[in-house]
Structure formats: structure tokens, C-alpha cells
Amino acid sequence: MIYYILYEWLFKSLSAGGTESVFVKALNVFQYVTFRTAYATVTALLISLIFGGRIIRWLKNMDVGQQIRAEGPQAHQVKRGTPTMGGVLIIGSVLISTLLWARLSSLYVWIILIATTLFALIGFIDDYQKVARKQSLGLTGKKKLAGQFLIGAGVWGALYLSSYYGWTDYSWNLSLPFFKQTALSRITDIGPVLYLPFIALVLIGFSNAVNLTDGLDGLAISVTVVAMATLTAFTYISGDKRWADYVGLEHQKEIGELTIFCGAMVGASLGFLWFNAPPAEVFMGDVGSLAIGGAIGTIGVLTKQELILLLVGGVYVVEALSVTLQVLSFKTTGRRILKMSPLHHHFEMSGWKEPKIVFRFLIIAILFALLSLSTLKLR
């Protein structure tokens, strides 16, 4: 909206009238994605900081408290009743900031906004049922998976129609990290039919992986800051043809506008971390974790960086993998390989203090981010 007011309307109108003042020339900066991304980040951060305290008080007044599993670490019992569903602050900040600073004629912007909102809606319903029932169980796993699959199918449908009618230049090519030709020559084009289950797998996987990571104060949101900052770089490079051709990424027109969404997510996450840092004043709940994971997966699909997400979100992947291995081990051998899953609870049960786990996982997230960025040259 700000882009249209200050650049499309004001700058172009004054320029057409022959006005050459310093003020008019300054308005030209609003056409640049980098400038708008920076201000989208700041806007989302300020919204989170300004309204965070009010949201927390409102959640307390509504008696929206966290329910703690009885079989979980006993140290977590003191967190019972801490306001949850704070993810509405994250998602609200991201949506407002993106609508203010992005060019809304881009179909990709609307796909990511709608997909993120729908994932948040599933999380909201799940959180609401937990609060209403005063227990730690909300939606059943089958209902969650069904909803997540439908969103994935919706993203696929939007991309299929947009490419069919020529609204976008989206391809059904699977870009492999370290192999430049898979992005530039599209020799790994698997077609739209195979891409449907692939998109669903990516979105469902990352949505639930972030949800599993959200178990300690500040853990999921701090990792999100690092992951989304990394995706901001990948998205910007993919959206700039010169850079994309230089490093061997698949370029698509209009994809650069997603950089603004990524920046907004970084800002909103930093703002939420202000309140979620140990000891947490509020938890994001499923409304936040499912939406963040869904957004990360959708960004990966739209920018053709689905497989690099395994490195960008390495901590999420390890956390989800720890749960999978724990379940498989118990069902096949009757033994648990971890004291408790996800992995952060294993370290907690081993005597590590919560802040130490969070900071060490954050360091690992940064290492994963650097490794993923290194693939831009190792191709």
C-alpha cells in the first residue's frame, strides 16, 4: 500500500508533471525491493513490540493459558497458565507489514499470505480446543494433516493455474543443491503431477517440524529468525536475474517481492522474541508454529529452494527426525533411543539448563544457515 501511494501514485505523478525536487527524487527509492524489505522488517518489529504487551494482557484476561503434558519435564509445570496463542502477534505483524510494503500485484505475495493465514487458522483451532478443554490435546493428528494437505494442494493449484495461463513463469523443475545445471537447464523437471505430493510433503513436514521445535522458551522463534534471514537472502538472489544467473539459481519474475514477506517475518520474530525470551511471558502456540513452518515451506516451494530448506531449517529437521527415530525405535524394539523427544527435551532430561539448550541450538542454527549460504558458490 505504501509502495502504491508513494511510488506508483505520488512519484510518478510528480515526475510526469516535470517536478525535479529532491523530495521527488527521494521517492524513487520506494521502487527498490531492498529498501522496502528493510522497512518491512522494521515495521513488523515495531508492531510486535508496541502491541505485544497488550496482546499478552488480553490473553491473560481471556484465560488463554498453556496446558502442560503431565509426562513432560517436571520443570515445565511452573509454566502452566502462561498465555499462549501469542502467534497471532507474529502473524498479524507479518501480514500488516507485507500488505504495507509489498507490491500487491504479485500473485506470489498473495499465495504466501493466504497459505500462512490458513496454516495459522489450523493452529488457532488446535489451540482453542486445548484452552477450551483445559488439556494439552487439541485437534487430532489426522485432522491436522488433512488440513495441511489441503493447503498444500491449494498452493499447487494456484501455481498450476498461474503457469498454465501464463500469469507466472513457475516451472515444475526440482533444483538440486550443489548442481547448477538442475536450476539453469531444468533437466530435473518432474512435471506438475509429481510436484503435488512433493509440495504437500514440504509444507506438512516443515509446519510440523517447527511445531515440534517449539518446546522451550525462545527456542523455535530464535531459530526462525536465523532461518528466515537466510531465506531472505535466497529469495532476493532468486528474484534478481543477474545474481540468479551468476550463482546458478532458478530465476522467476515477481519472486523478488517475497523478500519483503521474509523480512517482515524476521522483524516479527525478533519482536516476539522480546516477550518469549526465558522466562517466557507468552508462548506462540500452534497458531504461530504451524504458520511459521507453513510459511517457510511455501517460500521454499515458490523460490524453487525446497531441498535447500533441509539446511536452512536444519534444527527443525533434526528435531523432527529425533521424534521419528524415537517412535520407530520404540515400536520395533520396545526401547527408546532418547530420554525424551523431541531432541531438546532429551538434553533437558540429561541435566542441561533451558537457556543453555536454547543458545546452543541457536548456534547450530547459525552454522546450518552458513552452510546453506555456502551452496551458492559450491555449485
- Whether the per-residue pLDDT at 176 is higher than 90: the answer is no
| Backbone region of residue 272 per phi and psi (left: phi > 0; alpha: psi in -120 to 50; beta: other values) | alpha
Do 11 and 55 reside in the same domain of the chain?
no
In a domain, 84, yes or no: yes
Its domain, for residue 8, covers 1-31
For residue 158, tell me if it sits in a domain: yes
Please give the pLDDT value at position 269. 97
In the beta sheet, which residues pair with residue 173?
A: 189
Whether residue 329 sits in one domain with residue 192: yes
CB 289 within 8 A of CB 179: no
Handedness of CA 213, 216, 220, 223 (dihedral sign): negative
Residues 106 and 26 in one domain: no
Q: What is the pLDDT of residue 374?
A: 92
15 vs 335, which has greater pLDDT? 335
| Residues 9 and 100 placed together within one structural domain of the fold | no
Q: Are 81 and 99 part of one and the same domain? A: yes
At residue 21, the pLDDT reads 66
User: What would the pLDDT profile of 32-90 be if each residue is shown by its tens digit?
Assistant: 899 999 999 999 999 999 999 999 999 888 877 666 555 555 555 556 778 889 999 99
Q: 9 Cβ partners below 8 Å, 6+ apart?
A: none
Q: Which three cell numbers stand for residue 64?
A: 488463554
Percentage above 90 pLDDT, the chain:
65
Tell me what the mean pLDDT of segment 97-113 comes to. Answer: 95
What is the rounded CA–CA span in Å between residue 133 and residue 128?
8
pTM for the model stands at: 0.92
Same domain, 12 and 154: no
Domain contains 147: yes
- Co-location of 354 and 323 in the same domain: yes
In a domain? residue 379: no
Please report whether residue 264 resides in a domain. Answer: yes
Task: For residues 239 and 161, state if they share a domain.
Answer: yes
Per-residue pLDDT band at 235 (split at 50, 70, 90): very high
Grid cell at residue 337 = 533411543
Residue 282 zone, left/alpha/beta (φ > 0; ψ -120 to 50; rest): beta
Among 70-79, 118-127, 265-274, 333-342, whose mean pLDDT is lowest? Answer: 70-79
For residue 74, the model assigns a pLDDT of 55
pLDDT of 135 > 70? The answer is: no
Q: What per-residue confidence (pLDDT) applies to 77?
A: 58
